[in-house]
A and B are shown apart, each in its own frame.
Chain A
Amino acid sequence: MKLSLGPVQYYWSREDLLDFYRQVADMPVDLVYLGETVCSKRRLFRFDDWMDTARMLRDAGKEVVLSTLALLEAESELKTLRRICANGEFLVEANDMAAVQLLSAAGLPFVAGPTVNIYNAATLGVLADAGLKRWVPAVELDKDTLAAIGQEAPEQVETELFAWGRMPLAMSARCYTARAYDLPKDDCQYRCLDHADGLTLRTREGEPFLAINGIQTQSALTCNLLPEIKTMDGLGIDVLRISPQARHTDRIVQAFAEALQGGSELPDLQRLMPVGGCDGYWHGEAGMRRHSA
């Protein structure tokens, strides 16, 4: 199994992104996904910055994939998407069917991210015909379902599992970060910059429940499938994805890399999570439940 680093889901400053990816060049990950997937207003890093970063990481030996917006509403967003799809150098991850359409029409192979709905092998077959190279299952799919899909999946299609991070659960036209500050979306003052791991929503009993990240809603709890690696044999999983977080990403990557090399000591990563872990989806339960995460 290979290790990948997913796209940064949050809005980080330009300096923080540059610093982060300089470190990534030395991390033991095989693949890196780059790009803005949540909000088209986040423009501190422009297309050329992403391309420069992509080339830097490619030169450092990483396989780079350009990731794309998950919710596309405006023509300007489609325009940016077209530019990324036509980049000419790097594979692209589609997070919406618009990207699937553009890439397949251009005869280009693509990755389908976790917000492209694939729940069965028939759908994988349709997308394989369209050029699908690798897919990231929706985070709500359990291991039995993955095993069943894997049995009928087209042979050339790889599977990449979302194995670490606050999970993307929903998207809206409304910006919940702006709403939290009583600001209109059109004048959000980029408050996402203040929440490098999202803004935790707690229930009125104080339980961390969700995390707000602009128009995206995430789980407050961090999905952690590190303890499950030993149970993944035979599921046809080719890549494990780690979703970057503001701190400790290097230590998390290291822990996964050691586990994949057969290390028997599993470090306790609880302290590296923003508020705590979960792995319910993997076990076919409510996503927020915890077994060994």
Chain B
Amino acid sequence: MQLVCPAGNLPSLKAAIDEGADVVYLGFRDDTNARNFAGLNFNDKTLAQGLDYVCGRGREVYVALNTYPRPQGWKRWQAAVDRAAEMQANALIAADMGVLDYAANRYPDLPLHLSVQGSATNYEALTFYRERFGIRRAVLPRVLSMPQVKHVADNAPMEIEVFGFGSLCVMVEGRCLLSSYAAGQSPNTHGCCSPAGEVRYEETATGMETRLGGVLVDRVGKGENAGYPTVCKGRYDALDKTYYAMEEPTSLNTLDLLPKLLAAGIAAIKIEGRQRSPAYVRQVTRVWRQAIDSCLSDPAGFQPRGEWMQQLGAVSEGQQTTLGAYHRTWQ
């Protein structure tokens, strides 16, 4: 079972590799990937340095090209596929069928993975991607329960990778337009959820207000932590109450499930967080490396250590974690 870690920049890439990541995934510095934020991602120079660092240590690099090009951007996405092929990425992670088609035809030797943004939650959908584009691995959206993950893995015609830790998308990835509804840019079109230019923090008499596209997403009292305003983690009014209508600020943590994921034949665990700091990447990679090694050596006796959970909790959104959809009662 591989550990696949986020590299939003060169220091994060090095931190992940130093702490035992088998693979780092990264994107180019534009809207061709789903973490298109200022100051993140790789240019030619940092990419060359990153590749040296990873390859010199016998690990792998995946390139995320997982947004959906519109006609205006098509040539840029094509060029990004060309670039990933030239740098001999160990895999290209893509979502758009046009991009996959181009990559599969132009570079038959370039391994293709279906991104979580491809939004495939069942083996029939995965079969389409396998038959049309020769996809070798698929990353599952964070909407399936553990038995459903196993069922997909048992029936899918390719390897399966799942998210183990990080920010929790509560909507099925690749088909969520909440960000563009409020702020004009979505993960699919622009590679970002809640574009920074549309985010406002305002201190008011009643508390700190967070807004996206002018919409009041949350208001927190003194002493409460004001999170980054994503629509799905906001507090709204319905049925005469104000509440987190979709989800509270929290992170996904599946450490408890590791033996089951291993038994289900999951090929890789992905850590979310290319937008997070190198310190986050270092901490999370270290814990997950230890946990995976511990689970591989004794799956039956595996117990997440208290210190691991504590360390992961400390870097989580809202300082709390959940099993999310993997656990039926969450749904």
Q: How far is the CA of A206 from the CA of B242 in the complex (A)?
A: 11
In the assembled complex, A286 has its CB within 8 A of some CB on chain B = yes
Knowing A117-B174, A117-B175, A217-B178, the reply to whether A180 touches B98 (Cβ < 8 A) is no
B98 lies within 8 A of A123 (CB): yes
Knowing A169-B181, A174-B247, A185-B331, the reply to whether A121 touches B98 (Cβ < 8 A) is yes
A217 lies within 8 A of B246 (CB): yes
**B residues within 8 A CB of A77?**
122
Knowing A115-B175, A117-B174, A123-B96, the reply to whether A74 touches B246 (Cβ < 8 A) is no
**A residues within 8 A CB of B142?**
173
B125 lies within 8 A of A101 (CB): yes
B176 lies within 8 A of A207 (CB): no
B128 lies within 8 A of A203 (CB): no
Among B41-49, B231-239, B301-309, B312-320, which stretch is in contact with chain A?
B231-239
A201 lies within 8 A of B237 (CB): yes
Q: How would you classify the secondary structure of chain A's contact residues: helix, strand, loop or mixed?
A: mixed
In the assembled complex, B245 has its CB within 8 A of some CB on chain A = yes
Q: A63-97 CB contact bits vs B (8 Å, 1 = yes)?
A: 00000001111110110010000000000000011
A203 lies within 8 A of B236 (CB): yes
Knowing A98-B122, A126-B101, A200-B238, the reply to whether A287 touches B181 (Cβ < 8 A) is yes
- With a 10 A CB-CB cut-off, give which of A97, A115, A202 has the most chain B CB atoms: A97
In the assembled complex, A288 has its CB within 8 A of some CB on chain B = yes
A101 lies within 8 A of B213 (CB): no
B122 lies within 8 A of A72 (CB): yes
In the assembled complex, B184 has its CB within 8 A of some CB on chain A = yes
Total interface residues in chain A, CB < 8 Å: 75
Instruction: Report which of A74, A149, A186, A203 forms a contact with B215, defined as CB distance below 8 A.
Output: A203
A276-293, CB < 8 A from B: 280-281, 284-288
**A residues within 8 A CB of B143?**
71, 73, 171-173
**A residues within 8 A CB of B36?**
none
A73 lies within 8 A of B98 (CB): no
B177 lies within 8 A of A119 (CB): no
In the assembled complex, B188 has its CB within 8 A of some CB on chain A = yes
Closest chain B CB from A217 CB (angstroms) = 7
Among B53-61, B70-78, B266-274, B283-291, which stretch is in contact with chain A?
B70-78
In the assembled complex, B69 has its CB within 8 A of some CB on chain A = yes
B188 lies within 8 A of A117 (CB): yes
Closest chain B CB from A272 CB (angstroms) = 21
B213 lies within 8 A of A288 (CB): yes
Q: How would you classify the secondary structure of chain B's contact residues: helix, strand, loop or mixed?
A: mixed
In the assembled complex, A254 has its CB within 8 A of some CB on chain B = no
A75 lies within 8 A of B238 (CB): no
In the assembled complex, A252 has its CB within 8 A of some CB on chain B = no
A83-141, CB < 8 A from B: 96-102, 104, 115, 117-123, 125-127, 130, 138-141
Q: How far is the CA of A130 from the CA of B328 in the complex (A)?
A: 35
B98 lies within 8 A of A126 (CB): yes
A180 lies within 8 A of B239 (CB): yes
B331 lies within 8 A of A173 (CB): yes
Q: How far is the CA of A190 from the CA of B47 in the complex (A)?
A: 52
Q: How far is the CA of A122 from the CA of B81 in the complex (A)?
A: 14
**B residues within 8 A CB of A141?**
70
In the assembled complex, B329 has its CB within 8 A of some CB on chain A = yes
A204 lies within 8 A of B235 (CB): yes
Who on chain A is nearest to B185 by CB?
A286
Instruction: Report which of B151, B189, B237, B325 forms a contact with A203, defined as CB distance below 8 A.
Output: B237
A152 lies within 8 A of B125 (CB): no
Q: How far is the CA of A144 from the CA of B270 in the complex (A)?
A: 36
Q: How far is the CA of A58 from the CA of B74 in the complex (A)?
A: 41
In the assembled complex, A225 has its CB within 8 A of some CB on chain B = no
B246 lies within 8 A of A172 (CB): yes
A171 lies within 8 A of B175 (CB): yes
Knowing A123-B98, A140-B177, A217-B171, the reply to whether A72 touches B121 (Cβ < 8 A) is yes
**B residues within 8 A CB of A46?**
none
Who on chain B is nearest to A178 by CB?
B331
Knowing A140-B186, A169-B177, A201-B238, the reply to whether A73 touches B148 (Cβ < 8 A) is yes
Who on chain B is nearest to A280 by CB?
B184
Knowing A97-B120, A120-B71, the reply to whether A104 touches B128 (Cβ < 8 A) is yes
B121 lies within 8 A of A102 (CB): no
Knowing A180-B238, A202-B237, the reply to whether A98 touches B124 (Cβ < 8 A) is yes
The contact sample of 20 A-B pairs, CB cut-off 8 A, is A70-B175, A78-B122, A117-B95, A120-B70, A121-B71, A125-B98, A145-B71, A148-B72, A170-B232, A172-B246, A173-B145, A173-B331, A174-B325, A174-B330, A180-B239, A201-B237, A202-B237, A204-B219, A286-B213, A287-B180
Q: In the complex, given contacts A101-B127, A202-B237, what are 6 additional A-B residue pairs having Cβ atoms less than 8 angstroms apart?
A: A115-B175, A170-B176, A173-B170, A180-B238, A202-B238, A212-B245
A-side interface residues toward B, CB under 8 Å? 70-75, 77-78, 81, 96-102, 104, 115, 117-123, 125-127, 130, 138-141, 144-145, 148-149, 151-152, 167, 169-176, 179-181, 184-186, 199-207, 209-210, 212, 217, 219, 280-281, 284-288
Q: Considering the complex of A and B, which 9 residue pairs feature the smallest CB-CB distances, nearest first?
A: A122-B98, A97-B125, A148-B71, A98-B124, A173-B143, A119-B68, A101-B128, A173-B325, A287-B181
